[in-house]
Structure 1
């Protein structure tokens, strides 16, 4: 038990130090923890989540190519037109815009262009920018559990199918999207009258008494409406959306999935002895594609969805390069591709580290937590949330913690119901989207706070996670 605790401290320390450095360090420093567990404590290495990583690479490449074509500018422009048309409703419309942008692209890092526009509209309308900005930043991350190409959703489906919970991407979205929208609207409602109006805020009024500050706050104007979007950029968006539709159709209509034949070992089949005395296991014979009655057999399997997603995304990226004037060189310099590759490294290191620890202590975990989890299945939501606070990645939380949850005997529908709880990294405001939002708010009303935790994202974040998890849990119990 003492050794188990020491090794857990190694895992937690690696995650903590990595989170302090951020970016690539989160995955890289997890490698130090992994090395200590394997070489220092002699633990058997776990398995890195290769399927999820491949999907992220394919999806991020496709989204990055679309950004390089100018397609992202068109989506931002469409969102801005709607926001400027209804500025008095910006506290509700801004989070919806950032949410659906993330749902489309699979990463929350696409909203940096839209966030200063949200601030500008609020200031010009006399609305306290903290109101729409705080919840819009939360919404930009919430969309990750609602995107058909996001790592968290794909990993949930892949791991669930491997553990006997047969579910597809559309079935996950049927629960996560309405639940997260309910959570966001609850957070937006709570934010609608948050804080003092600008004309009644003594700190803000004092700030604009300085002519330089007044010019900084009111003088500038941030917009994308004056930017001309070429037809090739619009075509890239259509290609990207077409790829998403194809993926969803494949996931809904499983009968149309391509099939192929393979040789598999018959369950509990004995070893086979050749005439020369050589012995081979059923698994080895299946790998060698040797068909032997009673030991191996030919079976037909459908192409897996993780492979389909990769093929469709890479193909769409190629089409945009060939026909939509998208520059690959520009794509790798873009925010979408770079943030996606950082996510790959983070998930690679974190998930491998976590799997190494938990796979070596599965029996002990079942003994310690089995009774609690059996009685209160939903309590796993607190574990997901706390891990997310530490590692700043919803995909990494799913990849590293979902196998453990299934090993503890938690039913798949319960885990689907608590899926929104994997977003907890707003709790400590060190995530790039939150920091950027604070910097974009020229009024100074969106803040980190003197005591770190009293920041502008805490209230909408907690309301969203609570409401969305409750709604998702109810929907999952009703549907499944």
Structure 2
């Protein structure tokens, strides 16, 4: 009978997640709360602990980010990223993923990546490169920035769960692991797909007039034809063609991002607040200490520190840049942040209610399985992220099971970047935007939902990030 009840409760939890994903937006969080209601009132489970700290960390961070956006700070960050990407066209497949990762980690949201998609595409296209290589790799690695950001919604959830593992310890694992994953992914991705002149889809689009062949490829095509006509072997003809193309200047026009006056100031206020948060985590002595129940002095936790510094940063931006508070409320980042906060709150509350009530029946056996085969945690995180497309919801659903099983927090942290599985299905805005932006047709989806241009870089990033993270966890304890 107990097993049947647990199965029914699990069906409620999974059903709420599935319905939340189908509803979209704040629906994920609302369905989570509805599932909690059913668990409490129908199955009479004791209410779990709502993630209050994590909820307010997200609200604080997104308020500061929205104030920065209203003051033009996001435009300033995008302009910097754009200049870096366009300054290194020959190394685009390596530069774009690193830039996408770094700026997502800095901003705490992958929304900043949308503005970089046309920059990456145009830089690749003008230089005769296959856009799929850099576009798909950068799209995937931008998700690694979420688990390497001190101010992302997923980090807010994980930081509360992982206590007393500090923010600095978490970042000491996830940041190096992500950088390794970016480099390995770029190395593999550089060898994916045919060159544009050998891609039948691109040539078909050129012939149909849907896309114009850039000057670099025209020169390469001409040189290749002349070499072949002269009797040169195919390999030699290809080398001669590349040499001829290298002599042709790529498109000199740069994609410029206009930065409103004061945008740089607002961005730096936000960055200074992030640096202050990291320093507080790195040096606990900087935080005020107060006596606990035993009379011992204990520094205040990082959750209120993040909340205070982020809310204060928002206020400073509003005052310094004279941003009308009403404008902050209109920013796209704020609405997306509210969605993330509600999703985190609802799913985390439901998961904690279910897990706390079924520790002996389901959590312990699953914990034993994960302990015996630790890599299963990475698989669970990867698959759940793909199903929910929410890093924070996945964190709150899967991580508590591993914690309850007594798995070392360093190992859990090493596997946490498995949230890159959000790209498993082509259901994210960044994936769709990348496909639609690439007029050459090299970045594409397929009739098989899990096989698309992002599949290989996603799998490579996943494996390399977890492997590097596990190595780091041997040092960071």
Range into which the TM-score falls when normalised by the shorter chain = 0.7 to 0.9
The equivalent position to 1:27 in structure 2, one of 29, 37, 40, is 29
State the alpha-carbon separation in 1 of the partners of residues 330 and 382 from structure 2: 32
What is the RMSD of the two structures over their aligned residues, measured on CA atoms? 2.2
Deviation at 1:111, TM superposition (A): 1.2
230, 240, 258: which one aligns with 1:227: 258
List aligned pairs for 1:160-175, cutoff 5 A.
160-161=162-163, 166-175=164-173
**In structure 1, C-alpha distance between the alignment counterparts of 2:376 and 2:304, rounded to whole Å:** 33
Distance in structure 1 (CA, Å) of the matches to 2:71 and 2:254 = 19
Secondary structure of 2:475's counterpart equals helix
> Which residue pairs with 1:373 in the alignment?
370
Matches within 5 A, 1:332-347: 332-347=329-344
Residues 123-134 of structure 1 aligned to structure 2 (within 5 Å): 123-134=125-136
Task: Return the TM-score normalized by structure 2.
Answer: 0.87
- CA–CA distance in structure 2, aligned partners of residues 479 and 310 of structure 1: 26
Question: Aligned pair 1:390/2:387, yes or no?
Answer: yes
| Cα distance in 1, alignment partners of residues 259 and 368 from structure 2 | 61
> 1:32: Cα distance to partner?
2.9
Q: In 2, Cα distance between the equivalents of 1:12 and 1:80?
A: 41
* Structure 1 segments of 4+ aligned residues over 4 angstroms from their partners: 215-218, 220-224
8 A Cα contact 2:13 2:351, kept in partner = yes
Partner residue in 2 for 1:44: 46
Contact 2:105 2:146 (C-alpha < 8 Å) held by counterparts: yes
5+ residue gaps, structure 2: 216-250
Residue among 57, 69, 83 paired with 2:85: 83
TM-score scaled to structure 1, two decimals? 0.87
Instruction: Say if 2:187 is the partner of 1:189.
Output: yes
Describe the shift of the 1:437–1:382 C-alpha distance in structure 2 as closer, same or farther (beyond 3 A). same
Task: State which drifts further: 17-26 or 187-196.
Answer: 17-26
Q: Give the match for residue 471 of structure 1.
A: 468
* Map 1:59-98 → 2, pairs under 5 A: 59-98=61-100
Q: How does 1:146-157 map to 2 (within 5 A)?
A: 146-157=148-159
Shift of 1:127: 1.1
Give, in angstroms, the shift of residue 450 of structure 1: 1.6
Residues 228 and 383 of structure 1, relative CA distance in 2, 3 Å threshold: closer
Please say if 1:239 is aligned against 2:269: yes
Shift of 1:59: 0.6
Aligned partners of 1:117 and 1:222 also within 8 Å: no
> In the aligned structure 2, how far is the partner of 1:318 from the partner of 1:205?
53
Listed one character per residue, the Cα deviations across residues 395-414 of structure 1 (whole Å, up to 9, x for unaligned) are 22222322221111212122
In the TM superposition, what are the counterparts of 1:290-301 in structure 2 within 5 Å? 298-301=295-298
Task: Check if 1:416 corresponds to 2:435.
Answer: no
Change (3 A) 1:199 1:391: same
Unaligned stretches of 5+ residues in structure 1: 265-296
Is contact 1:120–1:222 with CA below 8 Å preserved after alignment?
Answer: no
Equivalent in the alignment of 1:280 = none
Paired residue for 2:203, among 198, 202, 205?
205
Deviations, residues 31-69 of structure 1 (Å, cap 9, x unaligned): 332232222222222122110010011011111111111
Number of positions where the alignment pairs a residue of Structure 1 with one of Structure 2: 440
Q: Give 1:257's aligned residue.
A: 287
Answer yes or no: is the 8 Å Cα contact 2:69–2:331 preserved in 1: yes
In structure 1, the partner of 2:247 is: none
Structure 1, 391-400 or 243-252: larger mean CA deviation: 391-400
1:318 correspondence with 2:349: no
| Alpha-carbon distance change, 141 to 326 in structure 1, aligned in 2, over 3 angstroms | farther
SS in 1 for 2:474: helix
Q: Out of 457, 461, 471, which is 2:454 matched to?
A: 457
